[in-house]
Amino acid sequence: MVSYNRLNPEDVQFSTAVLSEEPRPVQEEVPVPEPEEASLLPRRPTCSVTTVLLIIGCLLLLLCGGWLLGTMFWLHRPSNQQPHRPPSPASEQTPGVKTGVNDTAAALRREACSLIPEAWRFDCYPERGVVVTRELCEARNCCFIPASSASRPSGRNGIPWCFYPLDFPSYSLVSINDTSLGQKGTLIREVKTYYPADILTLEVEIRHETDTRLHVRITDPSNSRFEVPISVPTATKKAESPEYTVELSSSRLVSFLNTTVAPLFYADQFLQISTSLSSQFIYGLGEHRSTFLHDIHWNTLTMWARDVPPMEQTNLYGAHPFYLAMEDGGNSHGFFMLNSNAMDVILQPAPALTWRAIGGILDFYIFLGPDPASVIGQYVDVIGYPAMPIYWALGYHLCRWGYNTSNSTWDVVKSMRNNRIPQDVQWNDIDYMDQFMDFTYDPTKFDTLPEMVKDLHTHDQRYVIILDPGISSTQPEGSYWPYDEGLRRDVFIKDAEGKTLIGKVWPGLTAYPDFSDNATHEWWYDNLQRFHKKVQFDGLWIDMNEPSNFLDGSTNGCPSNSLENPPYTPGVLGGLLRAKTVCATAQQKQSIHYNMHSLYGLMEAKASASAMKRITSKRPFVISRSTFPSQGMYSGHWLGDNRSQWKDLYTSIAGILTFNLLGIPLVGADICGFGEEPQEELCIRWTQLGAFYPFTRNHNAIDMKPQDPTAFSPLARTAMKQALLLRYSLFPVLYTLFHHAHVHGHTVARPLMFEFPKDVRTYGIDKQFLWGKSLLVTPVLDPGVDYVDGYFPEGLWYDYYTGNPMPSKGEEIRLHAPLDKINLHLREGSVIPTQMPNITLWVSSGQPLHLVSALSDDGSATGDLYWDDGETIDAYENDQYSYIIFNVAQNVMTSEVLHSSVEATYITVETASFYGVKQKPSRVLVNSQDAVFTYSTNKMLTVTDLGLNLSHNFTISWM
């Protein structure tokens, strides 16, 4: 329906919607690569006539031409295919249905079908639980060919056996008009599909919102449909200098995004749009457990929030219909489908992608980048920038399910203190509650909880509680205020008959707050405030908020209708929308749960962050299990109930990198694993890696052995302590990175490809990652080894601990990695500020700074520091911050204070190290005064006893 292309303006004729970046020459037509090449550079096959198989070549030429004509035909004028009625469900299930096509025509059709390359076959029969036969397939007027390398019966999760022919009818563009923001047109379908309630007339609106953002909406002009209720920017004028061009027709184009490759569907409960892709390099599309780089070989990713321990090929806790694509040459683009309904996203090796949702509208954004970091910035500009975390959020958090008493919890905290191991935050899981009920604590086992929390505060530590959305509904009337008051205020989700829907979670039978209702937010705040007067908690951990239900639907079941059993059900775990959650027909303030389900965690996070702001008058700390786009504005995320296995250690890296793409940088995995018995070696390596998660928490399950650092041998305890002290020393770096995420939409934990987009070898790396642009983390991910292999992009890298230089031509290098070490390298051209660590960030953040500069070959380096009081709401927005730029060039470091606040006056710079100083200086000057320095054989210059106030400009020079 719409194609987006990078193009040369001289070649543009008139096409329907063409998108391009900076103009560049159209690539010449190239031969189809051999299979080995095709795996690296997938392309749509070109049409050609061979001398050996002249007839087949001619047929292929006609076929390709037919596809092009069909595409333009679909776009520009109504199809003259004769209308056909969709087969009834009974006829579709009955073998031997006549297609009404004579044998000769059928043979020709099948011959034409056979010429469609396997990689370009789009599934015409995606329903699960059906053995697709030729009769069923051809009843839909589709092609049926058992694929040569199908990985499942009837091509399920593999090459489709039933796929669309080139002439399959779709919508025609019958009119297009200019608007103040772009274009608006009408699409008409004259042939009904095989899904009920086709919407035959559609409106397409193309909005040129910014120079790098195009917004397309396809809607039903006759009836309003559900739209995702998150705030997105409203453009008021058309982009003045866009990096794309939208035209009305074209021929010679190098396409990177083309939605004409398969028919458009727009029925009441089935929306489908397909697009070609520019390459095989696709990222995002959370939440799923997978490698960071998605496999595009017939890979279906289902989105529908679900309570399930992380596993492959399963819909997990959150839904994020956004992908980032790397293109040939290092450019990139992004695509965001703003839709919260259950959906499948299908990747296939053409390369191509299909969106298949069961409600809402087709509302999508294209972000032009051109580099991946810019794409993410443009994406969060739509969904909302992540919040600046309160400072202690970046410390070490400790939790377990199964402390059993407040005194045993307190004992662990004291043990951590006695061992001088950093810890900022202590948590409790659901065992602190009275009968697992929210806003209560066990008066016997946790009787000293209020005193423990006061002790934490005395030691500059914080306390976080868990809350589940399920509110106990079985307590005697008048004995449980949250439920009684919730009924009085009418805040709970209702069933299809308008009665309070009752499910089952930890407390037993429960009602579910409807967070789409503002009245519920106020009720939630009142409950939190009442409990805060008893236990002065500092943050919230919101769990089970998919929402989770130990039943399917409710105690009364769910109605039998098309909402509960839609014509097409995406590949959700359990096969039903209501599986382990509430009924799809459940009623919420803003819409039915069918539309709102995957938004539940987002809306609870929004209510929780708002309440915590009001209660503490500080930046809120909220960690949520279920997430949706824009969640970073309100909460962070942990990757769920992982296991104490080496594989889980590895997959956590892909998880944190993906959520940084999705605008939720405050993310981490349960260090040492949640389930299964912890292993000492694994826990050491996990603590080392976890020290570089943006959000760092150790957490394990009930009935498992303790796994806090003090539970292990002295050797392990020391190794873990060193890793955490390293994190605390790097707090100024991490805090500055979160500032850039908050203000500019940058990533914190960053894939290597973001900094090296022209190096294709970085595209699949998910065993290493960067903090910002400067620090390269290379953890050990395997048992029983004292080395690790890491890839180092071309350039000069320095061992962070020693300053030893390590030049690389873009190669894999084996690094020594004893059990007490995680390899960390500083990229040339970087300046980072560090501090002397202590056991809490409150103490650490008051220590003097040490500046580390990693010089490029020309002797240059840059870096920065953002600083504020760590907890004031909107400190940056209200100018209550300091921001300093550090530059090194021609043997001179300068510090330039671009913005200053009182907080910076309390911090001094005491030492500075310069890696890569080629010759020993004879003299070092600090603000034109001689200074004490040392110079080592590995070309590291260190200047000490500086005593420089951070709030004033200074210079350090050597000669």
Distance CA 181, CA 337 (A): 20
* Mean pLDDT rounded to a whole number for the chain: 89
CATH 4.10.110.10 domain residues, the chain = 117-168
Mean pLDDT of 474-484: 97
Query: Can you list the positions of beta strands (E) in 189-268?
Result: 201-210, 213-219, 248-249, 254-258, 265-267
pLDDT at position 142: 97
Q: Give the C-alpha distances (Å, rounded to integers) separating 848 from 735, 834, 888, 909.
A: 16, 9, 20, 6
| Gap between the Cα atoms of 642 and 635, Å rounded | 20
pLDDT at 165 over 80: yes
Per-residue pLDDT tens digits for 586-644: 999 999 999 999 999 999 999 999 999 999 999 999 999 999 999 999 999 999 999 99
Percentages (nearest 5) of helix, strand, coil residues in the chain? 25, 25, 50
SS3 state at 811: strand
CATH topology of domain 391-742: TIM Barrel (3.20.20)
pTM across the whole model? 0.90
Strand ranges (E), 449-514: 462-467, 471-472, 502-505, 508-511
Q: Is the dihedral of CA 106, 110, 113, 115 positive or negative?
A: negative
Residue 22 clears pLDDT 60, i.e. is over it: no
Give percent above pLDDT 70 in the chain: 87
Contacts of 499 (CB under 8 A, 6+ apart): none
Total residues found in the chain within this entry: 959
Q: 65 vs 47, 82, 118, 167, CA distance in Å?
A: 8, 21, 18, 11
Contact yes or no for 270/325 (Cβ under 8 A): no
Mean pLDDT of 508-526: 98
d(CA 508, CA 510): 6
Asked if residues 374 and 402 have their Cβ atoms less than 8 Å apart, the reply is no
Q: Using an 8 Å Cβ cutoff, are 619 and 390 in contact?
A: yes
CA nearest to 638, candidates 345, 441, 399: 399
Coil, helix or strand for 9? helix
Look at strands 908-915 and 849-854 and give their pairing: parallel
For the stretch 441-454, pLDDT in tens is 999 999 999 999 99
Compute CA distances 854 → 316, 585, 916, 926, whole Å. 41, 59, 7, 19
Look at residue 12 in the predicted model and tell me its pLDDT: 27
Question: How much is the average pLDDT of 519-524?
Answer: 98
Tell me the average pLDDT across 137-166. 79
Class of domain 172-383: mainly beta
Per-residue confidence at 259, pLDDT binned at 50, 70, 90?
confident
pLDDT tens-digit series, residues 726-738: 999 999 999 999 9
Token pair of 701, please?
A: 């399950």
Tokens for 309, please give them.
């321990």
123, 429, 546, 604: the active-site residue: 546
Lowest mean pLDDT among 111-125, 174-188, 241-255: 241-255
Residue 760 · residue 774 · CB < 8 Å: no
- Whether residue 433 is predicted with pLDDT greater than 50 in this model: the reply is yes
Mean pLDDT, rounded, for 16-37: 32
Coil/strand/helix, residue 47: coil
pLDDT in tens, 371-395: 999 999 999 999 999 999 999 999 9
For 480, 542, 864, 868, 910, the CA distances from 947, given in Å and listed in that order, are: 58, 44, 19, 20, 5
> Which residues of the chain are in CATH 2.60.40.1760 domains?
172-383
Cα 11 to chain center, whole Å? 37
Domain 761-958, classified CATH 2.60.40.1180, yes or no: yes
Query: Rounded to an integer, what distance in angstroms lies between the CA atom of residue 430 and that of residue 437?
Result: 8
Where in the sequence of the chain do the CATH 3.20.20.80 domains occur? 391-742
Q: What whole-number percentage of the chain has pLDDT above 90?
A: 85
**Which pLDDT does position 246 carry in this prediction?**
72
Secondary structure element (H or E) that encloses residue 484, with its range: helix 481-489
Cβ neighbors of 197 (< 8 A, separation 6 or more) are 267, 268, 269
Contact 862, 481 (CB under 8 A): no
Average pLDDT over residues 149-174: 78
User: Which element (helix H / strand E) includes 134?
Assistant: helix 134-138
Q: What tens digit of pLDDT does each residue of 696-715 get?
A: 999 999 999 999 999 999 99
Distance CA 384, CA 754 (A): 21
pLDDT at 260: 84
Q: Can you give the pLDDT at residue 247? A: 63
Q: Considering only CA atoms, which of 282, 283, 318, 325 is closest in space to residue 303?
A: 318
Sequence-separated (6 or more) residues with CB below 8 Å from residue 336: 321, 322, 364, 365, 367, 379, 382, 383, 629
Task: Give the whole-angstrom CA distance, residue 791 versus residue 813.
Answer: 6
Task: Give 813-841 pLDDT, tens digit per residue.
Answer: 999 999 999 999 999 999 999 999 999 99
Mean pLDDT over 173-184 rounds to 95
State pLDDT tens for residues 195-221: 999 999 999 999 999 999 999 999 999
Per-residue DSSP letter, 529: H
Q: Find out whether 772 and 754 touch, Cβ atoms under 8 Å.
A: no
Phi, psi for 156 (deg, rounded to 5):
-65, 130
Pairing of strands 201-210, 948-949: unpaired
* Of 50-64, 171-185, 282-296, 732-746, the least confident: 50-64
Strand-pair category, 539-542 with 462-467: parallel
Residue 211 catalytic? Answer: no
With vertex at residue 902, the alpha carbon angle to CA 896 and CA 906, rounded to the nearest 5 degrees, is: 85
Q: CA–CA separation, 191 vs 717, rounded Å?
A: 69
To which H or E segment does residue 769 belong?
strand 769-771
- pLDDT given at position 157: 65
With a CB cutoff of 8 Å and minimum separation 6, the contacts of 69 are none
Q: Which tokens go with 98?
A: 């006549």
End-to-end CA distance of the chain: 65
Q: What is the mean pLDDT of residues 102-131?
A: 91
* Active-site annotation holds for 411: no
Work out the angle between the directed axes of helices 103-114 and 54-76 (0-180°, nearest 10): 90
How far apart are the C-alpha atoms of 410 and 419, rounded to whole Å?
14
3-class DSSP assignment, residue 78 = coil
Which of 424, 543, 604, 903 is flagged as catalytic? Answer: 543
Q: Comparing C-alpha atoms, which of 586, 557, 576, 589 is closest to residue 496?
A: 586
* pLDDT score at 58: 30
Report pLDDT for 256: 59
Check whether 37 has a pLDDT greater than 80.
no
Q: Looking at domain 117-168, does it have CATH number 4.10.110.10? A: yes
What residues does CATH 2.60.40.1180 cover in the chain?
761-958
